[in-house]
Amino acid sequence: MIAVVTVLLALPLGYLVRSRLAASMTYAVAYLWTFTFQTLYLALDSLGGGANPAFEAGEFPADYGVVTLAVLGAGFGLVNLGHWVRARSSRTGTRATATSGNTAASANVHA
C-alpha cells in the first residue's frame, strides 16, 4: 500500500505543488497514514493466526522497517525529481507571465 501511494502521489506532488516543503509534507502525511493502516493490517494478520502472516509473532520485523524506510526515501526522491522537472521545464519552455512582460507577442519583437 505504501508503494502504491508513493508511485501515485510523490512525483505528481513534486511537479504540481510549487512549494517543495508543501509537496514533501503532503506526501509525508499520505505516506504515514498509509503506513499506519498497513502496519495495523499486517500486525493483526500476524497475531490472529492468518494462513500466511507477514511476520511471526514475537519476532522483531527489522526487514519490514528497512523496506518501508527505503520506500519513504524513494518517495522524497520522487518529490524532489518532480520539483526539478518542473523547474527545468519552466526554464526551457516559453511560459509567459503577465508580470514579467515576456508574453508571446513581445517575444517576437526585437528591439
Q: Residue 7 has what DSSP assignment?
A: I
Which pLDDT does position 90 carry in this prediction? 79
More confident residue, 42 or 7: 7
pLDDT more than 90, % of the chain: 55
Q: What is the mean pLDDT of residues 4-20?
A: 95
- C-beta of residue 70 within 8 angstroms of C-beta of residue 3: no
More confident residue, 3 or 48: 3
* Domain layout of the chain by residue ranges: 20-92
Which pLDDT does position 107 carry in this prediction? 56
**What are the φ and ψ backbone dihedral angles of 96, each rounded to 5 degrees?**
-100, 140
